[in-house]
Structure formats: C-alpha cells, structure tokens
Amino acid sequence: MPSDEPAGRLSQTWERIRRPTAPGRVLFLLCLMYMITYVDRVNVGSAAPLIKTELGLTNTELGLIFSGFAYPYALLQVSGGLVADRFGPRLTLFACGLVWAIATILTGLAGGLAALFLARILVGLGEGATFPAATRAMASWTTREKRAFAQGITHSCARLGNAVTPPIVAWLTLLLTWRGSFVVLGCVSAIWVVVWFWYFRDNPADHRRITEADLAALPPHVDRKTSAARQIPWKALVARMMPVTIVYFCYGWTFWLYLNWLPSFFLHSYQLKLTSSALFSSSVFFAGVVGDTLGGIISDRVLHRTGDLRKARTWVVMGGFLGSLIFLLPVLFIHNLTVIALCLSAALFFAELVIGPIWSIPMDIAPQFSGTASGIMNTGSAVAAILSPLVFGVIIDLTGNWNLPFIGSIFLLALGLGLTFTMRPEKPFHATGVPVLSGAATGS
C-alpha cells in the first residue's frame, strides 16, 4: 500500500501557503527587504551607461562610484551586527531602512561625481547592518532545521532584485529619466520600513499572532537586554569566524563583479543597446535566484539525513565554488554572446549555491552572537565589494579588454574552494562566562 506521507506533506505545505504563520510572514518581510536592498544597491549599475554619459565619467570613476557603497558597508558589518544583538533587529532595520531609502532618492538628485559618490556612501551606511540584523532576526524566528532554507530563500530574493533591477530601471528611465527611477525606488523602500516596524517583534512570544506550536518549534529566545550586558569575546569570536570570512571574500569578489559590471560588460563587449544588455543581465541573475534557493534546500536536506553540520554546509559550499570556477573559464576564450550568457548564468548559479549554507554558519557556530558573527563574515564580501569593481574599472581603462578581470575571479574561486575545509561549522563557539545555547539553537 503506498504511503500517504508525500500527500500529507503537500497538504501541510499548501495549508502554510494558504494560511501563513507569523514566522512565515516574518520570513516574507525579510525576503522583501533582501530584494529591495539589492535593487537599491545595483540600480546604479543598471543606469551606469546613462550616468557615465551625462556626467562625463571615465570607467575608473564609474568603478569608484560602484565601490562607494562598499566603504561604509564594510565598516558597519561588525558594528551593525553588534547593534542588532544589543538593540534588536526591529529597531535596527527600521533605522537602516530610513537611511537607505533617503540615500536612494538623493542618488537621483546628484549633480556630479562628488555628490553621486556621497549618495552611494550613504546607501552603504544604511544597508551596512541589514544582513547581520536580518540574521539576528532569523536566529529567533527560524528553526534549526530550516536555517539554510531561510538564508537561501532570502538571498534568492536578493538575486531576484538583481534580476529585475535592469529592466525596471530601463523602464522607469524611459518614463521618468534615470534620476526619476531612483526617486521611485527610494519611496518603495520607505514603505517597507513602515510595514516592518509595525509587524515585527524581536521576541516571537511578544507577537500577537504567534501560536504555542510555533513557539515550541522555535529556538529559545536570547533576551537582548541580557546578551547586551555580556562582554563580547572579540578576539576569540573574530578568530573563530575568520576562515568563514576569507572564504566569503573569495565568493564576494566574483559576485560584486557581476553586480556592478555585468550590464556594461554586455553593452560594450557585444555592442548591445541598454534595453538588450538589461535583458541579458537579468537572465544571468535569474540563475542566481534558483541557486540560492536550491543551495539552502540541499544543505538542510543533507543535515536532516546525516545530522552532520560539516557535510551539510561545507560540501555544498565546495560544490558551488568548483562549478562556478569551471563555468567562468570559457569567458576567457569564447566570444559567442549566447554561449557566454549561458556560461555566466551557470557560473552564478553555482556560486549562489554557497549562500544558504555559509550564512547559516554564524547561527550554527555562535547563535547568541549571530548578528555580530554574521557581520564579521560579511565583512569579507564587503571588502570584496570595494576592491572588485574598482579593479575591474582600472583594468578596462588600461587594457580595453572586458574579459581580463574574470581571471581574478577564477583564481579566488579556486582559493575559496581550497579553504572551505577550515570553516568547521560543527564546532560551536565557546567563550568564558557565556553559556552555550542548547539543542535547537546551537545544533550541538
């Protein structure tokens, strides 16, 4: 007699979709935030050809504009995570959202290189604490068995933001000019800020729609007032997270190259129009949407079947680095537009398999400091965000070869692959005087 288990799971999934729980709605709000933040950080790349022409910028100056976002973004990763741990993600994301919404509007009002650079710095200032704060929220609102899925689906929505931004900016530009597009997108961000502050609560038990069943499944809540009084063991925590940070830098180098330069790459290497380059860029980014979601699902599935955190996290990360490296190689030797678009899509797909498992590692290692730990890790990607677009622009200005910058990505993907073994997510972080959370929270 066939088992009714698959039918039962399908029925439960449909019921959760039809009547979402409070944790489901929180995850949905975080998905929206990830998508909106990426729209607001990559819109300048989509509008870059028009901005460059109107303001008379060189590729090096354009690279400086792209990297402007990353300076405060990198500096605020650790401190932003600390703020989220101490003041809670509700207030942290509310304040951050207001800043990046205003900054996005100011980007559209910029009249020159200096003003545009300062506006992009302000966007980075607003978004610097967002992902560590979101990870802190997930630590309280997501079960241990679904951490990788939650990280994968939220980052998948970020990549969806990457995918839809080029055509959205192109469409808004036709209607309102590139400046008007930034004003509209900034207003959308402001709407999310209000909804987040109205609905979210730091402690799930304080939410009016939470059920006893939901609370029983969630990990023990770490009171921010209690955890704020602790002295964070900085030296030990940084040392523990450093291998993950370096691996994430290797990933981030390629990711930020995609994020800032892909529309211009298609535009100049293949002499496409703005709308055509936007469509090709979107098709590549959609591959990342699938990769993010699938990476989280695979990682959680491996954890469920084996109970081995190291296999669940590192094996998926290794596969992602290896696949991305292989599919970037043809970019150096082939000039066929269709083949290159497919290879770039496959390379991004594999790179994005990394996201779900690697963003789960701060929660696996140090759930009581998950905001700070994820901020330390994301500093690696933020530093890559400063260097990668700037190096790309310098190389293009010096050589005129739009394929050469991909060599650096291939090298760093190989380095990240080799260093994956050093991350050790299965070993919880122990600090003197700080209790280790049990079972559901730590994965121990």
Q: pLDDT confidence of 149, banded at 50, 70, 90?
A: confident
Residue 225 has pLDDT above 60, yes or no: no
Q: How far is CA 390 from the centre of its chain?
A: 20
Alpha helices in 200-331 (DSSP H): 212-217, 224-229, 234-269, 274-306, 309-310, 316-328
Mean pLDDT over 368-379 rounds to: 83
State the Cα angle at 146 between 225 and 413, rounded to 5°: 100
Residue 439 domain-assigned (yes or no):
no
Q: How far is CA 412 from the centre of its chain?
A: 19
Q: Which of 252, 242, 246 is nearest to 351 (CA)?
A: 252
* pLDDT value at residue 275: 59
Mean pLDDT over 256-263 rounds to: 76
Q: Are 67 and 383 in contact (CB under 8 A)?
A: no
Residue 227 domain-assigned (yes or no):
no
* pLDDT value at residue 367: 76
Residue 32 domain-assigned (yes or no):
yes
Residue 401 domain-assigned (yes or no):
yes
User: What's the pTM?
Assistant: 0.72
Q: Which of 128, 133, 134, 369 is nearest to 231 (CA)?
A: 369
Distance, in Å, from the CA atom of 378 to the CA atom of 244, rounded to the nearest integer, reads 9
Average pLDDT for the chain: 81
* pLDDT value at residue 265: 76
Q: pLDDT confidence of 200, banded at 50, 70, 90?
A: very high
* pLDDT value at residue 190: 93
DSSP type of residue 399: H
What 3-state class would DSSP assign to 4?
coil
Residue 228 domain-assigned (yes or no):
no
Distance, in Å, from the CA atom of 360 to the CA atom of 441, rounded to the nearest integer, reads 12
Tens of pLDDT along 112-131? Answer: 888 888 988 999 888 888 88
Domain tally for the chain?
A: 1
Residue 212 domain-assigned (yes or no):
no
Tens of pLDDT along 383-396? Answer: 888 888 778 778 88
Domain that holds residue 122: 21-201+240-422
Neighbours of 211 (CB within 10 A): 12
Mean pLDDT over 208-222 rounds to: 79
What 3-state class would DSSP assign to 431?
strand
Interaxial angle between packed helices 274-306 and 337-352, expressed in degrees from 0 to 180 and rounded to the nearest 10: 30
Distance, in Å, from the CA atom of 29 to the CA atom of 33, rounded to the nearest integer, reads 6
Distance, in Å, from the CA atom of 200 to the CA atom of 23, rounded to the nearest integer, reads 10
* pLDDT value at residue 274: 56
Q: Lowest-pLDDT range, 82-96, 142-156, 352-366?
A: 142-156
Residue 339 domain-assigned (yes or no):
yes
Residue 331 domain-assigned (yes or no):
yes
> Rounded to whole angstroms, what are the CA distances from 414 to 12, 285, 310, 352, 419?
42, 22, 20, 15, 9
N- to C-terminal Cα separation, the chain: 38
Q: pLDDT confidence of 91, banded at 50, 70, 90?
A: very high
Rounded percentage of the chain residues whose pLDDT exceeds 90: 21
- CATH number of the domain within which 127 lies: 1.20.1250.20
Distance, in Å, from the CA atom of 142 to the CA atom of 149, rounded to the nearest integer, reads 10
Distance, in Å, from the CA atom of 71 to the CA atom of 44, rounded to the nearest integer, reads 16
Q: Are 395 and 167 in contact (CB under 8 A)?
A: no
Residue corresponding to tokens 């994956």: 420
Mean pLDDT over 66-82 rounds to: 79
> Rounded to whole angstroms, what are the CA distances from 276 to 154, 263, 273?
28, 9, 5
Distance, in Å, from the CA atom of 27 to the CA atom of 22, rounded to the nearest integer, reads 9
Distance, in Å, from the CA atom of 354 to the CA atom of 424, rounded to the nearest integer, reads 15
Provide the residue type at 341 as one letter. A
Mean pLDDT over 81-101 rounds to: 88
Tens of pLDDT along 313-357? Answer: 999 999 999 999 999 998 888 778 788 888 888 999 999 999 889
Q: pLDDT confidence of 228, banded at 50, 70, 90?
A: very low
Size of the chain, expressed as the number of residues it contains: 444
Tens of pLDDT along 292-311? Answer: 889 888 998 898 888 888 88
Distance, in Å, from the CA atom of 263 to the CA atom of 274, rounded to the nearest integer, reads 8
Mean pLDDT over 160-180 rounds to: 82
Answer positive or negative: Cα dihedral of 419, 425, 427, 428: positive
* pLDDT value at residue 400: 77
Q: Which of 247, 287, 290, 259 is nearest to 379 (CA)?
A: 247
